[in-house]
Structure 1
Amino acid sequence: MSGQPSNATPKIRIRGLTKSFGAKRVLDGIDLDVEAGTSMVVIGGSGSGKSVLLRCILGLMVPDAGSIEIDGRNVLAQSRRQQEATRERIGMLFQNGALFDSLPVWENVAFGLLARRGKDKMTRAQALVHAGEVLKQVGLDPSVGSLAPSELSGGMQKRVGLARAIASTPEILFFDEPTTGLDPIMGAVIDGLIVDCVKRLGCTAIAITHDMASATRIGDRAAMLYQGKLVWQGPAASLLESGNPLVDQFTHGRREGPIGMELRR
């Protein structure tokens, strides 16, 4: 993943995005471009608006103002059917896996494909075979498909969640805190799988995370949200030496700094 900006239309372009809950403005005029084939990592403290940003792009939440373009088309202006078609091009790895306990692993992986209508819908037999192939792509034996999610370790559940995210060969992948709850070694393994999947599919990715090691491993570029605004954007490799006081305090976990002074008021 090169991470180098180009003159082409960004895969995702966000302009003037705002979202409030009562008197609290969670997103305050967000402008963000994500180039095709690159990975963007968004960092920020709890309540900074990272998850709200993802939900707005996914169409799970309606912003108060602004635009969200995918391939140059404003998805907020699309019909419901068009928005559903857009969402089918997106894969999502949820923070806690969000696997369905009542379904075996293979049905979790193929859930979106089984739910499709028309010519794209798979039979259960086809979905079972496809799920096994995708499980292999994330380092799991196809036999895992017959197990229940509760029989899996945390790391294996993350892998299954990743398999489900890539099962439909999406153009865009979203990752919500992909290494939360994992030890450092398993976190590095999951990050490696994410990078491999993004490269293999040639897709565009956005990840939100608190894990700085993860951010620098999976990101081409990075941005930081603070008080509803993007206060810094740059190469993910520069996160730990950004020169921005807010970013430096957050990435190094320092108690003293502009974020701490804000909290003491």
Structure 2
Amino acid sequence: MVGSIPKIRIRGLTKSFGTKAVLQGIDLDVMEGTSFVVIGGSGSGKSVLLRCILGLITPDSGLIEIDGVNILEQPTARRDAITEQIGMLFQNGALFDSLKVWENVAFGLLAKKPGKTPMSRTAARQRANEVLEQVGLDSSVGDLSPAELSGGMQKRVGLARAIAGVPDILFFDEPTTGLDPIMGAVIDGLIVDCVKKLGSTAIAITHDMASAQRIGDQAAMLFQGKLIWQGAASTLLNSGNPWVDQFTHGRREGPIKMELRR
């Protein structure tokens, strides 16, 4: 039955770098079609969690399942095939300066992959035009270089690239960082529209509480490598958890103590 198992299921995930324990036994279920937001301070392990799911980092222990398949136990080719269904919007856009905008959008479609024939440049350009228009950009933007775009336009291009391959899963790494509040709301609206149109499952990590509530169905908070709270994203500002409440309201006083280097 569709939806009977989590789209993404994580159990006992740990990762350390030297003596620094970054993830300490993460358990997380993200159901199909859900938009899930992970909040937490800098260094809490949010980005490491995404990179473990993407296969960019190998965890020390634990289980990561996508559609019931533990990707950590799969051969490299099988794991790559599974993670190919993930689209990613990077924090700073991560556009290639040497490529035109449309080539950035179509990068994954043009890439040579074992056992697969890359899309023709003509078809890839047509697909790039379609998704650029989907994120509110004219197809003529495709002929520009990334350096000619504003920060907000670069975010839109990054989003277009993330959805170009029609992924089952979308990841968003701090999608509103560096944007003014109005442009941040615009990007959030585009994210919500794209996720709904694709029917994708989404995970976003963010410091922006307004963004978290706009794009999230469910939410969780990471603190010192552990998930200390999970609940509806709409309750982030009144969770009843003192750590979450301090973080979401930006209070200096509370159980979270900032370590200052002198």
TM-score band (shorter)? over 0.9
Contact 2:109 2:118 in 1 (8 A): yes
Aligned residue identity for 1:198 = V
Q: Which of the numbers 29, 35, 39 marks the counterpart of 2:35?
A: 39
1:21-100 map, 5 Å = 21-100=17-96
Q: Does residue 173 of structure 1 match 2:170?
A: yes
Q: Which of the numbers 112, 119, 136 marks the counterpart of 2:108?
A: 112
Relative to structure 1, the CA distance from residue 245 to residue 158 in structure 2 (aligned partners, 3 Å threshold; closer, same or farther) is: same
Q: Which of the numbers 195, 199, 203 marks the counterpart of 1:198?
A: 195
After TM superposition, give the deviation of residue 119 of structure 1 in Å.
5.0
Secondary structure of the corresponding residue to residue 256 of structure 2: helix
Q: Deviations over 1:101-146 (max 9, x none)?
A: 0000000000001004455521011111110011000000000000
What are structure 1's unaligned runs of at least 5 residues?
1-5
The whole-number CA distance in structure 2 between the counterparts of 1:229 and 1:88 is 28
Aligned residue identity for 1:141 = D
The alignment-based identity, stated in percent, is 76
1:198-217 map, 5 Å = 198-217=195-214
Partner of 1:161: 158
Partner of 2:7: 11
Contact 1:113 1:120 in 2 (8 A): no
The whole-number CA distance in structure 2 between the counterparts of 1:214 and 1:34 is 19
Q: Does residue 148 of structure 1 match 2:145?
A: yes
TM-score (norm 1): 0.95
Contact 2:174 2:207 in 1 (8 A): yes
Q: Deviations over 1:86-115 (max 9, x none)?
A: 121000000000000000000000000100
TM-score (norm 2): 0.96
Partner of 2:135: 138
Relative to structure 1, the CA distance from residue 121 to residue 7 in structure 2 (aligned partners, 3 Å threshold; closer, same or farther) is: closer
The whole-number CA distance in structure 2 between the counterparts of 1:167 and 1:25 is 36
Aligned residue identity for 2:67 = D
The whole-number CA distance in structure 2 between the counterparts of 1:36 and 1:27 is 24
Partner of 1:243: 240
Aligned residue identity for 1:111 = F
The whole-number CA distance in structure 2 between the counterparts of 1:70 and 1:164 is 22
Q: How many residues align?
A: 258
Relative to structure 1, the CA distance from residue 74 to residue 102 in structure 2 (aligned partners, 3 Å threshold; closer, same or farther) is: same
Secondary structure of the corresponding residue to residue 82 of structure 1: helix
Contact 1:15 1:67 in 2 (8 A): yes
1:244-263 map, 5 Å = 244-260=241-257, 263=259
After TM superposition, give the deviation of residue 45 of structure 1 in Å.
0.3
Q: Does residue 221 of structure 1 match 2:218?
A: yes
The whole-number CA distance in structure 1 between the counterparts of 2:259 and 2:147 is 40
The whole-number CA distance in structure 2 between the counterparts of 1:198 and 1:38 is 9
After TM superposition, give the deviation of residue 263 of structure 1 in Å.
3.9
What are structure 2's unaligned runs of at least 5 residues?
none
The whole-number CA distance in structure 2 between the counterparts of 1:42 and 1:120 is 36
The whole-number CA distance in structure 2 between the counterparts of 1:245 and 1:232 is 10
The whole-number CA distance in structure 1 between the counterparts of 2:3 and 2:146 is 44
Contact 1:172 1:205 in 2 (8 A): yes
Contact 1:101 1:149 in 2 (8 A): yes
Secondary structure of the corresponding residue to residue 200 of structure 1: helix
